Amino acid sequence: MSLAFIFKRSTQMGLLSFLFQPKPHEVKRPCFHCGELMRERDVLLQTFDGAAREVCCHGCAGILILIENDGMQLEYRKMRMQKA
């Protein structure tokens, strides 16, 4: 399964679930993976590295799944620390 495929699917699935939802109060939270600020109702929970992480979309969730499947959590954590 390619990353492009995951991203494409995530937009399709995302569109459906974001329709017809009540207006939330505007609390913005950063995505665990990409840092994108998201409304509270858009938050997805993805288990990664031993805890539930808040991500903005199925694309970011899919990346965390891939990283964990490949056992790359340590590298991922290092990469994030370098970026910050």
Interface with Zn ion (CB under 5 A):
31, 33-34, 36, 56, 60
Name the nearest CA neighbour of 18 among 54, 37, 43, 55: 43
C-alpha span between 22 and 65 (Å, rounded): 29
Beta carbon of residue 60, minimum distance to Zn ion (angstroms, whole number): 3
The secondary structure element, H or E, covering residue 5 is helix 3-18
Beta carbon of residue 20, minimum distance to Zn ion (angstroms, whole number): 23
C-alpha span between 82 and 84 (Å, rounded): 6
Closer residue to Zn ion (CB): 3 or 34: 34
Closer residue to Zn ion (CB): 33 or 53: 33
Beta carbon of residue 15, minimum distance to Zn ion (angstroms, whole number): 16
Closer residue to Zn ion (CB): 24 or 35: 35
